[in-house]
Amino acid sequence: MSKNDYKYRGRYLVSGAIHMLFDPQPKTRKEEIFDREKEITEVIKSIENYPITLILGIRRVGKSSVLKVALNESKAVGVYIDARKLYTNVGGWITKDELKRELGNALLNLKPKILKPLLSYLNISKVSVKGLEFSFKEQNLVEILEKLNKFGEEKGKTIVLAFDEAQYLRFYGTKGGKEFLALVAYAYDNLPRIHFVFTGSEIGLLHDFLGFENHEALLFGRIHNEITITPFTREKSLEFLKRGFNEVNLKVREWELERAVEILDGIPGWLVEYGFHYLHTKDSKKALELTMRKAQQTMLEEIKELEKRSRRYTFILKAVALGFNRWEKIKEYLEAHEGRITNARFSSLLKNLERMSWIKSEFKDGKKLYSITDPVIERVLREL
Protein backbone atom coordinates (compact mmCIF):
# COMPACT_ATOMS: atom_id res chain seq x y z
CA MET A 1 0.00 0.00 0.00
CA SER A 2 1.03 3.59 -0.51
CA LYS A 3 1.57 6.03 2.34
CA ASN A 4 -2.04 7.18 1.85
CA ASP A 5 -3.43 3.67 2.28
CA TYR A 6 -3.68 1.90 5.60
CA LYS A 7 -5.97 -0.38 7.52
CA TYR A 8 -8.36 1.08 10.07
CA ARG A 9 -10.61 -1.02 12.32
CA GLY A 10 -10.98 -3.83 9.80
CA ARG A 11 -11.59 -1.45 6.88
CA TYR A 12 -9.22 0.14 4.39
CA LEU A 13 -8.52 3.81 3.86
CA VAL A 14 -7.61 4.86 0.35
CA SER A 15 -6.48 8.48 0.12
CA GLY A 16 -8.55 9.26 3.21
CA ALA A 17 -11.74 7.45 2.12
CA ILE A 18 -12.98 4.29 3.84
CA HIS A 19 -13.84 1.32 1.68
CA MET A 20 -15.45 -1.88 2.94
CA LEU A 21 -16.70 -3.80 -0.10
CA PHE A 22 -13.21 -4.10 -1.58
CA ASP A 23 -11.59 -5.09 1.71
CA PRO A 24 -10.06 -8.50 0.86
CA GLN A 25 -10.71 -9.88 4.34
CA PRO A 26 -13.96 -11.80 5.02
CA LYS A 27 -16.68 -9.49 6.26
CA THR A 28 -17.85 -9.70 9.87
CA ARG A 29 -20.52 -6.98 10.11
CA LYS A 30 -23.80 -6.61 8.27
CA GLU A 31 -23.02 -3.13 6.96
CA GLU A 32 -19.84 -4.41 5.31
CA ILE A 33 -21.51 -7.02 3.12
CA PHE A 34 -23.34 -6.57 -0.18
CA ASP A 35 -26.69 -8.11 -1.16
CA ARG A 36 -26.62 -11.11 1.16
CA GLU A 37 -29.46 -10.09 3.49
CA LYS A 38 -31.61 -13.06 2.47
CA GLU A 39 -28.79 -15.57 2.94
CA ILE A 40 -27.73 -14.06 6.28
CA THR A 41 -31.30 -14.23 7.57
CA GLU A 42 -31.59 -17.86 6.43
CA VAL A 43 -28.34 -18.78 8.19
CA ILE A 44 -29.34 -17.02 11.43
CA LYS A 45 -32.68 -18.85 11.53
CA SER A 46 -31.00 -22.14 10.69
CA ILE A 47 -28.19 -22.02 13.26
CA GLU A 48 -30.66 -21.09 15.99
CA ASN A 49 -33.21 -23.80 15.10
CA TYR A 50 -31.34 -26.70 13.49
CA PRO A 51 -28.77 -28.87 15.30
CA ILE A 52 -26.66 -28.98 12.12
CA THR A 53 -26.48 -26.43 9.30
CA LEU A 54 -24.54 -26.78 6.05
CA ILE A 55 -23.50 -23.66 4.11
CA LEU A 56 -22.47 -24.67 0.61
CA GLY A 57 -21.03 -22.87 -2.41
CA ILE A 58 -18.06 -22.83 -4.75
CA ARG A 59 -14.73 -21.30 -3.81
CA ARG A 60 -14.63 -17.51 -3.25
CA VAL A 61 -18.41 -17.12 -3.43
CA GLY A 62 -18.54 -15.52 0.04
CA LYS A 63 -19.49 -18.34 2.42
CA SER A 64 -17.10 -17.22 5.16
CA SER A 65 -18.42 -13.66 5.11
CA VAL A 66 -22.05 -14.80 5.27
CA LEU A 67 -21.21 -17.16 8.13
CA LYS A 68 -19.26 -14.60 10.16
CA VAL A 69 -21.89 -11.90 9.77
CA ALA A 70 -24.65 -14.37 10.72
CA LEU A 71 -22.75 -15.45 13.82
CA ASN A 72 -22.35 -11.82 14.88
CA GLU A 73 -25.99 -10.98 14.20
CA SER A 74 -27.43 -14.09 15.84
CA LYS A 75 -28.59 -14.31 19.46
CA ALA A 76 -26.62 -17.56 19.66
CA VAL A 77 -23.03 -17.72 20.91
CA GLY A 78 -21.02 -18.24 17.71
CA VAL A 79 -17.64 -19.97 17.88
CA TYR A 80 -15.80 -19.83 14.54
CA ILE A 81 -13.02 -22.30 13.60
CA ASP A 82 -11.29 -22.47 10.21
CA ALA A 83 -10.71 -26.15 9.42
CA ARG A 84 -8.13 -25.21 6.77
CA LYS A 85 -6.00 -23.67 9.52
CA LEU A 86 -6.32 -26.83 11.59
CA TYR A 87 -5.16 -28.87 8.61
CA THR A 88 -2.27 -26.53 7.79
CA ASN A 89 -1.02 -26.19 11.36
CA VAL A 90 -0.32 -29.89 11.71
CA GLY A 91 0.82 -30.63 8.17
CA GLY A 92 -2.10 -32.78 7.15
CA TRP A 93 -3.38 -34.71 10.19
CA ILE A 94 -5.53 -32.85 12.70
CA THR A 95 -4.98 -33.92 16.29
CA LYS A 96 -7.22 -33.67 19.34
CA ASP A 97 -4.77 -31.24 20.95
CA GLU A 98 -4.81 -28.99 17.88
CA LEU A 99 -8.61 -28.93 17.83
CA LYS A 100 -8.67 -28.07 21.54
CA ARG A 101 -6.14 -25.30 20.98
CA GLU A 102 -8.15 -23.74 18.15
CA LEU A 103 -11.39 -24.11 20.11
CA GLY A 104 -9.75 -22.21 22.97
CA ASN A 105 -8.55 -19.46 20.64
CA ALA A 106 -12.02 -19.21 19.11
CA LEU A 107 -13.61 -18.82 22.55
CA LEU A 108 -11.22 -15.97 23.32
CA ASN A 109 -12.72 -14.08 20.36
CA LEU A 110 -16.14 -14.01 22.06
CA LYS A 111 -17.46 -10.73 23.36
CA PRO A 112 -16.33 -10.04 26.96
CA LYS A 113 -19.92 -10.15 28.28
CA ILE A 114 -20.14 -13.76 27.06
CA LEU A 115 -16.55 -14.87 27.67
CA LYS A 116 -16.35 -13.71 31.29
CA PRO A 117 -19.29 -15.79 32.63
CA LEU A 118 -18.38 -18.68 30.33
CA LEU A 119 -14.93 -19.02 31.93
CA SER A 120 -16.51 -19.97 35.25
CA TYR A 121 -18.03 -23.05 33.59
CA LEU A 122 -14.81 -24.26 32.01
CA ASN A 123 -11.91 -25.92 33.78
CA ILE A 124 -9.09 -23.68 32.56
CA SER A 125 -5.44 -24.17 33.43
CA LYS A 126 -4.29 -20.97 31.72
CA VAL A 127 -5.95 -18.07 29.98
CA SER A 128 -4.32 -15.05 28.38
CA VAL A 129 -6.45 -12.85 26.16
CA LYS A 130 -3.44 -10.77 25.15
CA GLY A 131 -1.35 -13.76 24.18
CA LEU A 132 -4.27 -15.76 22.78
CA GLU A 133 -3.67 -18.70 25.08
CA PHE A 134 -6.49 -20.79 26.41
CA SER A 135 -5.66 -24.17 27.95
CA PHE A 136 -8.28 -26.69 29.05
CA LYS A 137 -7.49 -29.01 31.94
CA GLU A 138 -9.87 -31.61 30.49
CA GLN A 139 -8.32 -34.06 28.07
CA ASN A 140 -11.74 -35.09 26.80
CA LEU A 141 -13.47 -32.93 24.17
CA VAL A 142 -16.80 -34.41 25.22
CA GLU A 143 -16.40 -32.91 28.69
CA ILE A 144 -15.66 -29.50 27.20
CA LEU A 145 -18.81 -29.64 25.06
CA GLU A 146 -20.83 -30.78 28.06
CA LYS A 147 -19.72 -27.69 30.00
CA LEU A 148 -20.50 -25.44 27.05
CA ASN A 149 -23.93 -27.05 26.90
CA LYS A 150 -24.48 -26.46 30.62
CA PHE A 151 -23.58 -22.81 30.16
CA GLY A 152 -26.08 -22.61 27.30
CA GLU A 153 -28.84 -24.24 29.35
CA GLU A 154 -28.38 -22.02 32.38
CA LYS A 155 -27.97 -18.79 30.38
CA GLY A 156 -30.65 -19.58 27.81
CA LYS A 157 -28.11 -19.55 24.96
CA THR A 158 -27.43 -21.77 21.97
CA ILE A 159 -23.72 -22.48 21.42
CA VAL A 160 -22.90 -22.68 17.71
CA LEU A 161 -19.64 -24.38 16.75
CA ALA A 162 -18.97 -23.26 13.18
CA PHE A 163 -16.33 -25.03 11.11
CA ASP A 164 -15.35 -23.27 7.88
CA GLU A 165 -14.30 -25.56 4.97
CA ALA A 166 -15.26 -28.53 7.10
CA GLN A 167 -14.31 -31.15 4.52
CA TYR A 168 -10.77 -30.86 5.95
CA LEU A 169 -12.05 -32.47 9.16
CA ARG A 170 -11.86 -35.81 7.39
CA PHE A 171 -8.18 -35.56 8.30
CA TYR A 172 -8.99 -35.48 12.02
CA GLY A 173 -7.52 -38.41 13.90
CA THR A 174 -6.47 -41.64 12.26
CA LYS A 175 -9.83 -42.96 11.04
CA GLY A 176 -10.85 -40.50 8.36
CA GLY A 177 -12.49 -38.09 10.78
CA LYS A 178 -14.75 -40.69 12.42
CA GLU A 179 -13.67 -39.58 15.91
CA PHE A 180 -14.85 -36.06 15.11
CA LEU A 181 -18.15 -37.31 13.68
CA ALA A 182 -18.64 -39.38 16.83
CA LEU A 183 -18.23 -36.19 18.86
CA VAL A 184 -20.86 -34.43 16.71
CA ALA A 185 -23.22 -37.41 17.00
CA TYR A 186 -22.86 -37.44 20.79
CA ALA A 187 -23.60 -33.72 21.00
CA TYR A 188 -26.57 -34.12 18.64
CA ASP A 189 -28.08 -36.84 20.84
CA ASN A 190 -27.22 -35.48 24.30
CA LEU A 191 -26.35 -31.76 24.20
CA PRO A 192 -29.35 -29.81 22.86
CA ARG A 193 -27.69 -26.42 23.36
CA ILE A 194 -24.78 -27.30 21.06
CA HIS A 195 -25.41 -26.69 17.37
CA PHE A 196 -22.98 -27.13 14.49
CA VAL A 197 -22.36 -25.27 11.24
CA PHE A 198 -20.23 -26.74 8.46
CA THR A 199 -19.29 -24.80 5.34
CA GLY A 200 -17.77 -26.43 2.30
CA SER A 201 -16.44 -25.54 -1.14
CA GLU A 202 -15.81 -29.19 -2.01
CA ILE A 203 -19.49 -29.94 -1.69
CA GLY A 204 -19.46 -33.60 -2.66
CA LEU A 205 -16.58 -34.36 -0.31
CA LEU A 206 -18.36 -32.62 2.56
CA HIS A 207 -21.55 -34.60 1.95
CA ASP A 208 -19.57 -37.83 1.74
CA PHE A 209 -17.69 -37.00 4.95
CA LEU A 210 -20.80 -36.15 6.99
CA GLY A 211 -22.70 -39.11 5.57
CA PHE A 212 -26.28 -38.05 6.29
CA GLU A 213 -27.53 -40.45 3.60
CA ASN A 214 -25.10 -43.28 4.31
CA HIS A 215 -26.78 -45.82 6.57
CA GLU A 216 -23.38 -46.94 7.87
CA ALA A 217 -22.27 -43.40 8.81
CA LEU A 218 -22.38 -41.96 12.33
CA LEU A 219 -24.60 -39.02 11.31
CA PHE A 220 -26.96 -41.04 9.13
CA GLY A 221 -30.50 -39.66 9.18
CA ARG A 222 -29.70 -36.71 11.43
CA ILE A 223 -31.87 -33.64 10.86
CA HIS A 224 -29.97 -30.82 9.19
CA ASN A 225 -30.51 -27.80 6.96
CA GLU A 226 -28.60 -26.82 3.83
CA ILE A 227 -28.13 -23.29 2.50
CA THR A 228 -26.37 -22.65 -0.80
CA ILE A 229 -24.57 -19.37 -1.52
CA THR A 230 -24.64 -18.62 -5.25
CA PRO A 231 -22.64 -16.14 -7.37
CA PHE A 232 -24.06 -12.70 -8.13
CA THR A 233 -26.05 -12.14 -11.30
CA ARG A 234 -24.49 -9.90 -13.95
CA GLU A 235 -26.65 -6.99 -12.78
CA LYS A 236 -25.70 -7.51 -9.13
CA SER A 237 -22.02 -7.81 -10.05
CA LEU A 238 -22.13 -4.43 -11.80
CA GLU A 239 -24.00 -2.90 -8.87
CA PHE A 240 -21.43 -4.34 -6.46
CA LEU A 241 -18.52 -2.76 -8.34
CA LYS A 242 -20.29 0.58 -8.67
CA ARG A 243 -21.11 0.70 -4.98
CA GLY A 244 -17.57 -0.26 -4.05
CA PHE A 245 -16.11 2.55 -6.13
CA ASN A 246 -18.73 4.98 -4.82
CA GLU A 247 -17.43 4.33 -1.30
CA VAL A 248 -14.22 6.12 -2.27
CA ASN A 249 -15.83 8.59 -4.66
CA LEU A 250 -14.12 7.04 -7.66
CA LYS A 251 -15.91 7.14 -11.00
CA VAL A 252 -15.10 4.24 -13.29
CA ARG A 253 -16.18 4.03 -16.90
CA GLU A 254 -19.13 1.74 -17.58
CA TRP A 255 -17.33 -0.30 -20.23
CA GLU A 256 -14.52 -1.06 -17.79
CA LEU A 257 -16.98 -2.44 -15.27
CA GLU A 258 -18.77 -4.49 -17.91
CA ARG A 259 -15.47 -5.93 -19.12
CA ALA A 260 -14.51 -6.88 -15.57
CA VAL A 261 -17.84 -8.63 -14.99
CA GLU A 262 -17.58 -10.42 -18.33
CA ILE A 263 -14.24 -11.89 -17.28
CA LEU A 264 -14.80 -12.40 -13.55
CA ASP A 265 -18.48 -13.38 -13.73
CA GLY A 266 -20.38 -13.05 -10.45
CA ILE A 267 -17.94 -14.54 -7.97
CA PRO A 268 -17.52 -12.01 -5.15
CA GLY A 269 -13.96 -13.03 -4.27
CA TRP A 270 -12.65 -12.15 -7.72
CA LEU A 271 -14.73 -8.96 -7.94
CA VAL A 272 -13.25 -7.83 -4.62
CA GLU A 273 -9.76 -8.65 -5.87
CA TYR A 274 -10.35 -6.57 -9.00
CA GLY A 275 -11.81 -3.65 -7.07
CA PHE A 276 -8.97 -3.70 -4.56
CA HIS A 277 -6.32 -3.59 -7.28
CA TYR A 278 -8.18 -0.90 -9.23
CA LEU A 279 -8.22 1.34 -6.16
CA HIS A 280 -4.45 1.10 -5.95
CA THR A 281 -3.53 1.22 -9.65
CA LYS A 282 -6.38 3.31 -11.13
CA ASP A 283 -5.94 1.06 -14.17
CA SER A 284 -8.62 -1.47 -15.15
CA LYS A 285 -6.31 -3.53 -17.37
CA LYS A 286 -3.66 -3.74 -14.66
CA ALA A 287 -6.29 -4.62 -12.05
CA LEU A 288 -7.57 -7.49 -14.21
CA GLU A 289 -4.02 -8.71 -14.82
CA LEU A 290 -3.28 -8.75 -11.10
CA THR A 291 -6.56 -10.53 -10.39
CA MET A 292 -5.87 -13.21 -12.98
CA ARG A 293 -2.33 -13.59 -11.65
CA LYS A 294 -3.75 -14.20 -8.17
CA ALA A 295 -6.20 -16.71 -9.65
CA GLN A 296 -3.33 -18.52 -11.35
CA GLN A 297 -1.26 -18.66 -8.17
CA THR A 298 -4.24 -19.92 -6.19
CA MET A 299 -5.12 -22.53 -8.76
CA LEU A 300 -1.55 -23.80 -9.13
CA GLU A 301 -1.33 -24.31 -5.38
CA GLU A 302 -4.59 -26.25 -5.38
CA ILE A 303 -3.60 -28.30 -8.43
CA LYS A 304 -0.33 -29.19 -6.75
CA GLU A 305 -2.41 -30.80 -4.00
CA LEU A 306 -4.57 -32.56 -6.60
CA GLU A 307 -1.54 -33.97 -8.39
CA LYS A 308 -0.34 -35.62 -5.19
CA ARG A 309 -3.28 -37.96 -5.76
CA SER A 310 -3.10 -38.14 -9.57
CA ARG A 311 -1.48 -35.96 -12.24
CA ARG A 312 -4.34 -36.95 -14.54
CA TYR A 313 -6.59 -34.47 -12.77
CA THR A 314 -4.77 -31.56 -14.42
CA PHE A 315 -5.31 -32.94 -17.92
CA ILE A 316 -9.00 -33.58 -17.24
CA LEU A 317 -9.46 -30.00 -16.01
CA LYS A 318 -7.55 -28.67 -19.00
CA ALA A 319 -9.74 -30.68 -21.38
CA VAL A 320 -12.96 -29.36 -19.85
CA ALA A 321 -11.65 -25.79 -19.87
CA LEU A 322 -10.83 -26.12 -23.58
CA GLY A 323 -14.40 -27.12 -24.34
CA PHE A 324 -14.20 -30.91 -24.38
CA ASN A 325 -17.41 -31.22 -22.40
CA ARG A 326 -18.49 -34.83 -23.06
CA TRP A 327 -17.26 -37.94 -21.26
CA GLU A 328 -15.81 -39.50 -24.42
CA LYS A 329 -14.02 -36.33 -25.58
CA ILE A 330 -12.48 -35.66 -22.18
CA LYS A 331 -11.20 -39.25 -22.02
CA GLU A 332 -9.73 -38.97 -25.53
CA TYR A 333 -7.88 -35.78 -24.54
CA LEU A 334 -6.54 -37.40 -21.37
CA GLU A 335 -5.34 -40.53 -23.18
CA ALA A 336 -3.64 -38.44 -25.86
CA HIS A 337 -1.45 -36.91 -23.13
CA GLU A 338 -1.22 -39.64 -20.49
CA GLY A 339 -1.84 -42.95 -22.23
CA ARG A 340 -4.56 -45.54 -21.83
CA ILE A 341 -6.90 -45.51 -18.85
CA THR A 342 -9.77 -47.83 -18.00
CA ASN A 343 -13.31 -46.48 -18.20
CA ALA A 344 -13.85 -47.23 -14.53
CA ARG A 345 -10.73 -45.36 -13.42
CA PHE A 346 -11.50 -42.39 -15.67
CA SER A 347 -15.09 -42.19 -14.39
CA SER A 348 -13.77 -42.25 -10.83
CA LEU A 349 -11.40 -39.33 -11.49
CA LEU A 350 -14.18 -37.35 -13.19
CA LYS A 351 -16.54 -38.01 -10.30
CA ASN A 352 -13.90 -36.94 -7.77
CA LEU A 353 -13.43 -33.58 -9.52
CA GLU A 354 -17.19 -33.08 -9.44
CA ARG A 355 -17.34 -33.96 -5.73
CA MET A 356 -14.55 -31.43 -5.09
CA SER A 357 -16.57 -28.81 -7.03
CA TRP A 358 -13.89 -28.23 -9.66
CA ILE A 359 -16.35 -29.22 -12.36
CA LYS A 360 -20.12 -29.51 -12.65
CA SER A 361 -22.37 -31.47 -14.98
CA GLU A 362 -25.78 -30.98 -16.54
CA PHE A 363 -27.94 -32.83 -19.02
CA LYS A 364 -28.68 -31.07 -22.27
CA ASP A 365 -30.53 -32.72 -25.17
CA GLY A 366 -30.11 -36.05 -23.42
CA LYS A 367 -26.33 -35.71 -23.09
CA LYS A 368 -24.31 -35.16 -19.94
CA LEU A 369 -22.07 -32.13 -20.35
CA TYR A 370 -19.25 -30.98 -18.05
CA SER A 371 -17.95 -27.47 -17.34
CA ILE A 372 -15.59 -25.71 -14.92
CA THR A 373 -17.49 -24.23 -11.96
CA ASP A 374 -15.38 -21.07 -11.72
CA PRO A 375 -15.11 -19.09 -15.00
CA VAL A 376 -11.97 -17.31 -13.80
CA ILE A 377 -10.24 -20.61 -13.12
CA GLU A 378 -11.48 -21.80 -16.52
CA ARG A 379 -9.64 -18.92 -18.22
CA VAL A 380 -6.47 -19.70 -16.26
CA LEU A 381 -6.65 -23.41 -17.15
CA ARG A 382 -6.91 -22.63 -20.85
CA GLU A 383 -3.55 -20.85 -20.68
CA LEU A 384 -1.71 -23.62 -18.82
pLDDT confidence of residue 9: 42
Tell me the backbone φ, ψ of residue 312, rounded to 5 degrees: -65, -25
Domain boundaries, the chain: 36-228, 232-302, 310-382
Give me the CATH topology for the region 232-302: Helicase, Ruva Protein; domain 3 (1.10.8)
Q: For the residues 327-355, what does the mean pLDDT come to? A: 96
* Percentage above 70 pLDDT, the chain: 92
- pLDDT tier, 127 (very low <50, low <70, confident <90, very high otherwise): low
pLDDT digits (tens, 9 = 90+) for 130-169: 554 677 776 689 999 999 999 999 999 999 999 999 999 9
Q: For the residues 271-292, what does the mean pLDDT come to? A: 96
pLDDT digits (tens, 9 = 90+) for 158-216: 999 999 999 999 999 989 999 999 999 999 999 999 999 999 999 999 999 999 999 99
pLDDT at 1 over 50: no
pLDDT confidence of residue 128: 61
- pLDDT tier, 309 (very low <50, low <70, confident <90, very high otherwise): confident
Higher pLDDT, 12 or 324: 324
pLDDT digits (tens, 9 = 90+) for 71-104: 999 999 999 999 999 998 877 789 998 999 899 9
pLDDT confidence of residue 10: 46
Q: For the residues 57-77, what does the mean pLDDT come to? A: 96
pLDDT confidence of residue 2: 47
pLDDT digits (tens, 9 = 90+) for 363-383: 999 999 999 999 999 999 998
- Structural class in CATH, domain 310-382: mainly alpha
Q: For the residues 348-359, what does the mean pLDDT come to? A: 94
**pTM metric for this prediction:** 0.89
pLDDT at 8 over 50: no
Q: For the residues 315-330, what does the mean pLDDT come to? A: 97
- pLDDT tier, 16 (very low <50, low <70, confident <90, very high otherwise): very low
Give me the CATH topology for the region 36-228: Rossmann fold (3.40.50)
- Distance (Å, rounded) from C-alpha 153 to C-alpha 277? 48
pLDDT confidence of residue 130: 56
* Percentage above 90 pLDDT, the chain: 79
Q: For the residues 273-283, what does the mean pLDDT come to? A: 95
- pLDDT tier, 343 (very low <50, low <70, confident <90, very high otherwise): very high
pLDDT digits (tens, 9 = 90+) for 220-266: 999 999 999 999 999 999 999 999 999 989 999 999 999 999 999 99
pLDDT averaged over every residue in the chain: 91
Neighbouring C-beta atoms of residue 144, cutoff 10 Å: 22
pLDDT confidence of residue 90: 78
